[in-house]
Structure 1
């Protein structure tokens, strides 16, 4: 299945992928820019508080880069935004686990504290959920392009079905 060929350009699922990538991307971009304004060391392990989380120069740079990447995905939209949301979501969850193991240690180069770990898990789950929305479920509607791709015979049959012509039959009214 070629992901870029599955979803029509104007399909309503594209809006979910686009808005979620754009919204989270803007938040990450703002967080990263605010982190740069505090002049914290690039590899500082203690960081400075920004939006109830800690940040340093490296985390600010990564936030800006991932924010711009998600915004670019939102601009492109469609399946690209969906796949990007899922991929970046997985990276955020992995980052949460890695940084959870590094909390309080000398190798905590992103200055993570527990709030950052929880944020990483929450954003990762949000991005994955929005990226998979309408693609991964057992009850996709018949007009969903992913359902049509997974069930080509039924999709072809549904395109050849024709409805009876003329007005619908009257029911419950006396004839006469």
Structure 2
């Protein structure tokens, strides 16, 4: 799989911008959720919300950490963003799946609703896709990858 990831993709700036916006959204959600859920227990299943999605202090803290990680990685670039975007994207999709399974139980520790699961899948998909297309490398490696994808023998 890794041998077929594009190097120096022509839409790399677009994917970096999408990752940046996803990171900004997650960070804004976390900060607003933190402000709305102050004073509540860490895993409270209450009515606190941010940007139309329910939250609690634990989910707000996790969102702030994920948003900062994505933003810093995107600003650093140099394939750090590729690694972080892919893993954080997978994390969002796994969290969405786990919370979907636990939504109507007492184990819903992040206070997820169906809307929160859907947004988690969307953010995860955007970040994972961005991670696959932001890889940078020398022009020779990009040319070799292009030949490999086109089926031209080395």
Q: Over alpha carbons, which structure has the higher Rg?
A: 1
TM-score between the two structures when normalised by the length of structure 2: 0.78
Question: Against the structure 1 CA distance between its residues 124 and 132, is the aligned structure 2 distance closer, same or farther, given a 3 Å change threshold?
Answer: same
Give SS of 1:109's match. Answer: coil
Distance in 2, Cα, partners of 1:80 & 1:155:
31
Q: Which has the higher helix share?
A: 2
TM-score between the two structures when normalised by the length of structure 1: 0.69
Note the residue ranges of structure 1 that are not aligned, 5 or more in a row: 136-142, 157-176
Q: 1:21 aligns with which of 15, 19, 22?
A: 19
Q: CA RMSD in A?
A: 3.0
Note the residue ranges of structure 2 that are not aligned, 5 or more in a row: none
In the other structure, the counterpart of 2:33 is: 35
Query: With CA pairs under 8 Å and 6+ residues apart, which has the higher RCO, 1 or 2?
Result: 2
Distance in 2, Cα, partners of 1:114 & 1:144:
46
Distance in 2, Cα, partners of 1:73 & 1:7:
18
Comparing 49-58 with 12-21, greater Cα deviation is found at 12-21
Distance in 2, Cα, partners of 1:20 & 1:145:
25
Count of aligned pairs? 144
